[in-house]
Structures are given as C-alpha cells and as structure tokens.
C-alpha cells in the first residue's frame, strides 16, 4: 500500500523534471540579472534597502549586487555563493562567474531535453573544463623576472579591472595608485595595511596615495600638534574613572566631605594609572576608549599627545603599521612593545582635520585617500579600488597574465571544440555545449556595448583559427582588435577561478532531481 502523505501539511516537494526546471530557471534568472553589468560598457544597478534610512547603493560589482538580494530559489543561492567566494578569493570576475555558470546550465537544459542523462553532461563538462584550463596554461605570459615589464603588466591588469567600474574615466591615475600600494606590500596578500579613507568633496581625480598612516581623529586641546621621533603606545583601556561610577551600589556617607574623599581616591587611582603609562617613556598615547578631561590634562602636562576613541580598525591597523602591540595593562613596561614613527602631525583634507603618522616601521603601509562628489560615488570607488587591489596582490604572487577582452574565452572555446570532435559518444554533445557557453562572455561584452555580437563573434572565431592570434573585442571602436596593442590584460588566477567555480556550480545544480521545502514552523497558540 502506498504511503499517502510523508511530509507535514505545508511542506512541498518537486520531483524530476519540475525540480530541474525550477533550478534552471532560477539560476538563469540570476545570470541575466547581472549580465548587463559585464564588460567596459556594463551598466550599474541601484539597490535600495527597505530598512531604516532606506540606504541606496549604486554598484556595478556582481558580488555586491547578489549579496544584497534576498532569494528564495535554492539554485540561485548557489550562484550567489560562488560569486561571494570569487570576491573573497580573487576579488574580480564576480559577474563573469555567474554569467558562465548560467550559460552552462542553459546549454545543459537543451541537452537534457534531448534525453541525455545529467551525469553524461557532467562528465563532459569535467573533460571540457580540464581541456580549457590546459589551453590557457599554454598561453600564459610571465614577466616576473623583469621588474619593469612586470610593473607594466600590473598596470595593464589594474586598468582592465578598473575599466568596467566607475573609475574607468581616470583609470590610469587609479591603476597607478593601486600598483604603488600593492608593490609596497612586497608580495603579501594582506590588504589590511592599505587603508582607504573616503572624504567627500573634490573630484575623483583628487584622490592620492600617502605613505604612512592617517587616523581620522583630531588632536586634543592643549597638546603638542607635532611630534618628531614618536614612541607610540597603542592601548585598549578605560580612562574614564575619575568620577564615582559604582553601578548598582549605594554608598552612604554622613557628609559631603566623605564624597569628596571617594572622588579623591578615584582621582588618585586615575593619576597612578596615567603615571604608569607615562613611565613607558612614550610621547603619544592612542586609546580605543574615551579619555576623560582629568587624564587628558595630565597627559598634556607631560607633553604627551593623547588620542581617544580611535576606532578598532584604526588601532589594529596602527599597531600593525607602527610595529606596536595593543596593550591593556601597564604594570611592566619592558614587556610592552611600543610603536615608532618619525613624525606625527595634523593635516587637513577637505574640511576635516586628520592625524598623519609618517615614516612608520612597516614600510608596507600606506593610505589611499579617495575624494568624490558624494558618498555613493565614494562607496562605489572604494569597491572598485578594492577589486583592483585584490587582483593585483594575487597577481604579484602568481605572476601569470593573459590577454583580456574575450580573448581567453575564444582560446578555450577553440580547444574545447577540437576536443569535442575527437570524443566519441554522447559526451561530445556536452563538450560542444561547453564551448558554446564559453562564448557567452565575449557575446555579452559585445551586447552590452550595443554592438552586433553575432557578427563580432564570427569574426573573432575566424581570427583565432589562424596561429597565435591576439584578437579580442575592442569595445571602444566596436570591432575586433589586437589585445597586445591595446594593453588589455587579465590575471590568470582570476580566469582560472571563474572557470573552475562556474563549472562546479553548474555541476552541483545539474545533480538535483528533487527539491523539498520544509513546512514553516507554526507559533503555538499560547492562550
């Protein structure tokens, strides 16, 4: 006898073709959503939150768009995840990875409609991905040994990354900033020592790179405005106990004199703490928490610059940069590591005063100050610059680069095509489909620029059948151009990540044949 009902009342299940259909449709819808942001002529999206303050984000970054969406479809969530991972891993290619995965599924849907088993499709895709990766490996360029050439490569990679973002108008300026900042890191991929400060006002062209560290705070009253050869103590400690603060306790006293005694004791305690801090032989004290007037006076008398309420990022980074450690107890000065820098002074950017630390220990640190018309512009500029910095720091480690502009996809598609012709059996259909899906990226780049994509792709394919072709889409003139002349380069690591993540995501969605949605939890009637 068949089981009538297995699940609770409101749980739903979709089986077989319906489940597959819903996952394909969801994944393709997500891919079409971000498709228009791809390439140098990609458009931006406005994301408006319904929360408090209705904050508005204007962005072109695939990961940022997808992160902000609340999605029900389970297959679409997989694509959102790969885009997030791509953003964390290499920083760029967040849109390409979703578009490619969406296309792979679109092709797979056609194959499955002709009664080819999903597992056959998957094994075909596997072979094709391997073949495509090897095709790229044969074509990579590596100029690690020649510093000048390598720098030019980095500049090209940065300019290519920035050309699809809001910074595309001043991409040379920003590419220069990003390359300088990353070269200072000397090969580490830790971007924490590059600080980005956003100050509205001026135009994007006014942004600059400052070696050293800028803290977004003002210098207290009556304290030295300029200190040379500073010894800095970075601390996270309470400096606000010179008034009675006994929570939830009552103190009974028989006269005001007693209250004064308690306050005096508190003051004395504070004074001793300040004395301990001064005993470290420092001339700059940076605290995470508040510093009340009394300790501030004491510091000012001792000629020490005291900075209060430096946000956590600020002190973490300041510790990193000046080579100091964050201290919270001051009993044994010899075990505390102090930070050092040559000069501390107050500078003005726009309307605001900031504190500038120059000549810092860790020569890797620097600050990029972004200027722009409004906060939305600045936020988007920061995201774009962050993408460029991520890609560059990865490229410094793995210095292989490729041409851009749809060239890698054409190279891969050609290799995969040849593999499809050699492969017997049904798998060859899947491999063929993979090469068609790869062409979706140059097609989308051309479509977004309003060009005739079918014509351009056909021309490109013909070009690539000649030996050693560098042809790609030149969006500016709207024709097929030579990528080595135009200087459009991409990092190999980004392309490889796009290829492998998209294939794995498509494979995961293809394996699904049933979707079970859990019944919503009921609130019990508490009557």
First-to-final CA distance of the chain: 40
Phi and psi at 358, nearest 5°, equal: -120, 160
Q: For residue 57, how far is the Cα from the chain centroid?
A: 16
259 touches 208 (CB < 8 A): no
How many Cα atoms within 13 Å fall on the side-chain side of residue 197?
25
Residue 61 among the catalytic residues: yes
- Tell me the longest C-alpha to C-alpha distance in the chain: 100
Classify the C-alpha dihedral 80-81-84-86 as positive or negative. negative
Catalytic residue among 57, 59, 61, 322: 61
CA neighbor of 211 nearest in space, from 228, 199, 194: 194
Residue 254 among the catalytic residues: no
Distance CA 451, CA 440 (A): 14
Residue 387 among the catalytic residues: yes
CA neighbor of 163 nearest in space, from 483, 496, 492, 439: 483
**Which residues are 208's β-sheet partners?**
369
Tokens of 219: 């210098």
Residue 474 among the catalytic residues: no
DSSP state of 519: P
Catalytic residue among 59, 64, 95, 322: 95
Compute CA distances 309 → 271, 313, 333, whole Å: 20, 11, 23
Catalytic residue among 92, 387, 432, 447: 387
For residues 296-305, one letter each, b for 16 or more C-beta atoms within 10 angstroms of the residue's C-beta and e for the rest, the string is bebbbeeebb
- Catalytic machinery residues: 61, 94-95, 387
């Amino acid at each position: 006898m068949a089981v009538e009902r297995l699940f609770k009342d409101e749980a739903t299940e979709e089986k077989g073709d319906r489940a597959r259909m819903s996952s394909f449709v969801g994944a393709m819808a997500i891919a079409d959503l971000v498709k228009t942001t791809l390439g140098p002529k990609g458009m931006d999206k406005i994301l408006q939150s319904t929360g408090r303050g209705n904050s508005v984000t204007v962005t072109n970054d695939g990961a940022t768009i997808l992160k902000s969406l609340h999605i029900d479809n389970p297959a679409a969530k997989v694509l959102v995840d790969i885009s997030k991972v791509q953003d964390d891993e290499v920083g760029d290619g967040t849109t390409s990875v979703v578009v490619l995965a969406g296309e792979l599924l679109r092709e797979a849907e056609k194959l499955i409609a002709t009664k080819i088993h999903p597992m056959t499709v998957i094994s075909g895709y596997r072979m094709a991905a391997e073949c495509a990766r090897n095709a790229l490996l044969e074509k990579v360029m590596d100029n690690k040994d020649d510093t000048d050439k390598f720098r030019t490569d980095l500049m090209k990679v940065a300019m290519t990354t920035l050309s699809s973002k809001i910074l595309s108008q001043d991409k040379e300026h920003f590419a220069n900033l990003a390359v300088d900042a990353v070269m200072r890191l000397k090969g580490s991929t830790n971007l924490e020592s590059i600080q980005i400060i956003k100050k509205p006002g001026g135009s994007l062209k006014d942004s600059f790179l400052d070696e050293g560290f800028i803290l977004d705070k003002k210098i207290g009253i009556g304290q030295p405005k300029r200190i040379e050869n500073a010894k800095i103590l970075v601390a996270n400690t309470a400096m606000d106990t010179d008034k009675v603060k006994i929570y939830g306790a009552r103190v009974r006293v028989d006269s005001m004199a007693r209250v004064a005694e308690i306050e005096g004791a508190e003051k004395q305690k504070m004074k001793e703490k300040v004395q301990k801090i001064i005993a470290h032989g420092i001339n700059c004290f940076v605290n995470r928490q508040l510093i009340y007037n009394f300790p501030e006076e004491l510091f000012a008398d001792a000629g020490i610059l005291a900075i209060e309420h430096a946000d956590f990022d600020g002190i973490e980074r300041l510790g990193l940069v000046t080579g100091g450690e964050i201290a919270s107890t001051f009993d044994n000065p010899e075990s505390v590591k102090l930070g050092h820098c040559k000069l501390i002074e107050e500078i003005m950017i726009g309307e605001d005063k900031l504190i500038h630390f120059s000549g810092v220990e860790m020569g890797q640190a620097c600050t990029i100050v972004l200027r722009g018309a409004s906060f939305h512009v600045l936020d988007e500029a920061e995201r774009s610059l962050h993408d460029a910095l991520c890609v560059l720091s990865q490229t410094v480690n793995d210095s292989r680069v490729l041409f851009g502009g749809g060239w890698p996809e054409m190279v891969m598609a050609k290799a995969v095509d040849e593999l499809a012709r050699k492969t017997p059996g049904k798998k060859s259909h899947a491999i063929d489909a993979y090469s068609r899906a790869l062409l979706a990226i140059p097609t989308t780049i051309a479509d977004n620029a309003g060009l005739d994509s079918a014509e351009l792709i056909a021309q490109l394919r013909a070009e690539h059948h000649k030996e050693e072709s560098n042809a790609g889409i030149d969006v500016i003139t709207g024709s097929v151009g030579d990528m080595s002349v135009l200087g459009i380069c991409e990092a190999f690591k980004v392309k490889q990540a796009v290829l492998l993540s998209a294939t794995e995501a498509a494979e995961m969605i293809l394996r699904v044949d049933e979707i079970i949605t859990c019944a919503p939890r009921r609130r019990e009637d508490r009557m």
